[in-house]
Amino acid sequence: MNPVLHKIVETKHEEILQAKGRSLPARKVPIRPWESNLKTSSISVIAECKKGSPSSGVLRPNYDPVEIASIYESSGAGAISVLTDSKYFFGSLTDLASVAESVSIPVIRKDFIIDPLQIEEAYSYGASAILLIVRILTPKELSSLHSFAKNLGLAVLVETHNKEEVKIALGSGATTIGINTRDLDTFQIHKNLIEEIAQELDDSIIRVAESGISSFNDWQKYKGIVDSMLVGTYFMKSKDIAKDFRSLLSGI
């Protein structure tokens, strides 16, 4: 495991120990439909609220997740991803709750989830879905966490980075599979990975392209191959999110 990723996971273990025994708030919003919002006649967009990252630092100094989420929803996003990691991505569970309570489309908690407590938090703070990353879990852990989330009524996006991880994801019961072109060990982008993997997945699977998406050319390249694109950095660096959202889908 990459040293940065290893450090993040170690931090998660520490955070989970500190959070044990804390009471969680009552959920305030219904669980929003996931599949129908992502699997449409075109490529849907999972638009991300992300203040920064370990590799880029702060991406958006004037970060207002509720304002950003409102623009995403009005622009036609199928779902919204909210980074909740505080130490490395400058997010929070408060961000998650604020966004979930301000929009009517599903919101996914994006974090490094390794424990059922984090899934309970996601549910309590209004998420309709969670992210599970194959790279940081054993197959047994992945299956257990996937089942735990589904039993709470949450959808699960299982993130993969190669064909072997896709097999593990499918073995866990995953029905939404993310193909991340950014290798978590090297942080390099493998541009053809999505074409190589997505076309081998059954149409019953919701296929999500992740990382490195920044132009209408990407949308054209993935049309007919994936069901959805998760887009974060492109929007976070934008001076006019609504305009660049339209440009991503139309080239105008």
Classify the C-alpha dihedral 91-92-93-97 as positive or negative. Answer: negative
Active site residue 210: yes
The structural domains of the chain, ordered by start, are: 3-14+37-226+233-250 (3.20.20.70)
Active site residue 39: no
For residues 8-15, average pLDDT: 96
Active site residue 121: no
pTM, 2 dp: 0.94
Among 73, 81, 121, 159, the active-site one is 159
Active site residue 150: no
Give the separation between CA 123 and CA 109, rounded to whole angstroms: 9
Top pLDDT among 250 and 252 is at: 250
Residue 231 CA: distances (Å) to CA of 3, 16, 46, 50, 245: 25, 28, 6, 10, 10
Q: What is the dihedral of CA 70, 72, 76, 81, to 10 degrees?
A: -110
Active site residue 110: yes
Among 12, 37, 44, 50, the active-site one is 50
Active site residue 48: yes
Q: DSSP per residue over 189-200, as a string?
A: B-TTHHHHHHTT
The 10s digit of each residue's pLDDT in 200-215 is 899 899 999 998 888 8
Active site residue 159: yes
The 10s digit of each residue's pLDDT in 218-231 is 888 888 899 999 99
The 10s digit of each residue's pLDDT in 140-171 is 999 999 999 999 999 999 999 999 999 999 99
